[in-house]
Structure 1
Amino acid sequence: MSGDEAEFAGVRDLSRDPLDGDPAVVAYLGDRYDAVREFGALLADQGELRGLIGPRELGRMWERHLLNSAAVVPFLGEGVVVDIGSGAGLPGLVIAAMEPSRRVVLVEPMERRCAWLREAAETLGLDGVTVVRGRAEEVREVVEADVVTARAVASIDKLVKWAAPLLADDGRMALLKGRSATDELEKAKYVLRKARLVGSVHSAPTVPGLEATTVVTLTRS
């Protein structure tokens, strides 16, 4: 057992979550269910200890974090995904677990969170994951994205200012947002125009009975 595996050799228990093992969740994730669950179990085991999630999140890991993150995958398109402000690995490590052949770059400014991301990716065998320490606006010389994603990082106008320079010429953004997404788009209209991006708001349902996730896509005009 490697050092990373020893560190993660805890309970890895999601049984406090009522959606764990739910047939609808299994059906939604298909053959990637086990991989996503393993990441969720690592996060449940280590997240509170390492300051990544609060104690109340352990009983709603699937609804609030794993399925919410998985909902962005259909909106990503092709190519390299860059997750800015990756934090606990949401949605970046969920994306990597669902699409293990895709290159996923996790951009995170805090070293202790970078350490978690590297260890989790190694433990899960996600060889396509690269962790880059820094803020989005600081890594423009070393990171290029076909698609940028982010969750619970900042408003759309700020995300565009920080991350649009990372995009390839035909790149796009797929952002996990809340109910204020339409208002955020309106407030960001001048920033979007300057960046030559056009925004759309999408409802992204996951499993029956859960509120649909809101995804904002920004594409080149």
Structure 2
Amino acid sequence: MNDVSRETPPALPEAPASARGVFSSDRLTLIQRYAESLATDGVTRGLIGPREVPRLWERHLLNCGALAELLPQESSVADIGSGAGLPGLVLAIARPDLRLTLIEPLLRRTTYLQEVVDELGLTNVVVVRGKADVLHGKERFDVVTSRAVAPLERLLTWSMPLVAPTGALVALKGSAIVDEIEEARPVLRAFGCAEPEVLPVGEGLIPEPTLAVRIAWADPARARVVPRVASASGPRKANGAAKRRSRRS
């Protein structure tokens, strides 16, 4: 099955006036070039759907750019499941003080990401091909972010091992985030996370504000790479199997 779209991409709308509230004047050209790349190469290479082009600014670029307001100055940031670069590339454009690591397992996506990084001269970005766990136990970041990657329960198991003791998971989420938090309570406890904060993003700046969830460690001194119990079922079974093996040995 061919995963590259053969549809002719629709025309990209002009950048709305609200883009100036998210991106500084010296970064507008870069975000416009990235938008044009997504609307053309991004569609023909199957990275975004053609129906997303007319709403690329309001639904995607501005929301991702507005997330920058939650990130501390000069932070190291990992974007897991970066896809076509949302939100990682947008954050790198909006905030040149940030140091971005884009983590993406699919080759065609990492190829595109690296091409955009090179074409735009984004010296604050590193592209890593692999799943999030490729860096577990190797690197920690001030912020681990993502967008539309997975429900919070799974997102925690991928993200928290990458979060520095004084850092946080800061992910874009939709209106279902409150329910996701309740479903993820066992994993939050297992990792030793603080109470999640649900924060508005882009209020007063963009036409369609969204929500983000911020989750830090309850006790930075006890931040763990791997929790004792990662979920309500799987790891307990694994622990039981380990005990049985221990009794047999």
TM-score range, shorter chain: 0.7 to 0.9
The aligned residue for residue 47 of structure 1 is 42
Deviations 1:152-186 (A, max 9, x none): 10011101111111111112011011110111111
Larger Rg: 2
Give the whole-Å Cα distance in 1 for the aligned partners of 2:167 and 2:205: 32
Quick one: which amino acid aligns to residue 28 of structure 1?
Answer: V
Greater displacement, 26-35 / 131-140: 26-35
Quick one: which amino acid aligns to residue 109 of structure 1?
Answer: P
Give the whole-Å Cα distance in 1 for the aligned partners of 2:212 and 2:62: 13
CA contact (8 A) 2:42 2:84 kept: yes
> Would you say how many aligned residue pairs link Structure 1 and Structure 2?
207
TM-score (norm 1): 0.87
Quick one: which amino acid aligns to residue 170 of structure 2?
Answer: A
Match of 2:132 among 136, 154, 160: 136
Question: 1:23–1:14: structure 2 CA closer, same or farther, 3 Å change rule?
Answer: farther
Match of 1:125 among 121, 125, 136: 121
Structure 1 unmatched ranges of 5 or more:
1-12
Q: Once superposed, what is the RMSD of the aligned Cα atoms?
A: 1.9
The aligned residue for residue 216 of structure 1 is 213
The aligned residue for residue 172 of structure 1 is 168
Quick one: which amino acid aligns to residue 208 of structure 2?
Answer: E
Match of 2:22 among 28, 42, 58: 28
Q: 4+ residue runs of structure 1 moved beyond 4 angstroms?
A: 206-209
Quick one: which amino acid aligns to residue 60 of structure 1?
Answer: R
The aligned residue for residue 110 of structure 1 is 106
Quick one: which amino acid aligns to residue 54 of structure 1?
Answer: G
TM-score (norm 2): 0.78
Question: 1:216–1:209: structure 2 CA closer, same or farther, 3 Å change rule?
Answer: closer
Q: Displacement, 1:150?
A: 0.3
Question: 1:86–1:208: structure 2 CA closer, same or farther, 3 Å change rule?
Answer: closer
Give the whole-Å Cα distance in 2 for the aligned partners of 1:209 and 1:159: 26
The percent identity for this pair of structures is 40
Deviations 1:77-109 (A, max 9, x none): 242000000000000000000112321000000
Question: 1:70–1:62: structure 2 CA closer, same or farther, 3 Å change rule?
Answer: same
Question: 1:48–1:39: structure 2 CA closer, same or farther, 3 Å change rule?
Answer: same
Structure 2 unmatched ranges of 5 or more:
1-8, 219-249
Match of 1:147 among 143, 151, 160: 143
Match of 1:157 among 153, 156, 162: 153
